Amino acid sequence: MRRTRFKINVKQTISVYKALAPSLWEEFEGGLKDALEWPIERILLEFGGYRTNIPKSGCSIMSGNGFLIRNYDYHPKTYDGSFLASQPTDDGLATIGSSQRVTGRSDGMNEQGLALGYTFINRKKPGDGFVCHMIGRLVLELCKNIEEEVQLLKELPHRGSFSYVLYDTNSTLVTIVETFPRGIEIRENIACTNHFERLTKDNRHFLVDSTKRMDLIQEKELSSLTSEKTFQLFNSTTASLFFQQYYNWAGTIHTSAFFPSDLTV
């Protein structure tokens, strides 16, 4: 097992999951642990999504008329390459989206038409709490609308600093929840990249790439584009929002598009 810079507190992790999402704990203990025949400490290290260090990454997200489109920028060696549809049999909402670290979700939508993505901000002063991809899974399975999502994001302990971008059938703009281990702020906009606009003291010092992508989105007036044109702008290898800096953990891995009104992706 690799050495880490943090401890796995099994009792603490059990209590958190049993309080928030008991079915997820059963997935760890009764599913992965039995199937892999690993000790629970290693299961939690690899898949638990609680108190795990996250390398830097990019990501751009924007909304249009009835859709949410996201570029997931990271490094290929970390990528699951799995797009999952899940229907829990005990409790939780049905979801569809990209898996991360097997048990987490990097983006997705649930059966209520609630879509989510996130953008990395920084790793300054991490706290004890959930990482981004497990928060994505919890939000999609436990929340029916943006109001419930915002409330859950207020209650969850956050390991690092991320913006969670929320969109549902009643949205015109995306709801952006800026989170860090010591608090959250909420705002609305058409798009989100990799910097805070409210919690500015917690931004990284180097923001040129993130602000450049945001300026491009605003200058192009992307809100007037169709979903097809917007997807092409995000997904084409010649487009300004598509990055090939994989050596810097900032290459575009996939482009997702979610349509809450008709529950299509």
Question: What does the pLDDT look like over 172-182, one tens digit per residue?
Answer: 899 999 999 99
Per-residue confidence (pLDDT) for residue 95, from 0 to 100: 98
Identify which has the larger pLDDT, 61 or 34: 61
CATH no. of 58-258: 3.60.60.10
| pLDDT exceeds 70 at position 10 | yes
User: H helices of the chain, where?
Assistant: 10-20, 22-26, 33-36, 40-47, 132-142, 146-155, 208-219, 227-235
pLDDT digits (tens, 9 = 90+) for 106-126: 999 999 999 999 999 998 889
- Please tell me whether residue 253 adopts helix, strand or coil conformation: strand
| pLDDT exceeds 60 at position 7 | no
- Give the whole-angstrom CA distance, residue 111 versus residue 55: 31
Task: Give pTM, 2 decimals.
Answer: 0.81
**What are the residue ranges spanned by the domains of the chain?**
1-48, 58-258
pLDDT digits (tens, 9 = 90+) for 146-180: 999 999 999 999 999 999 999 999 998 999 999 99
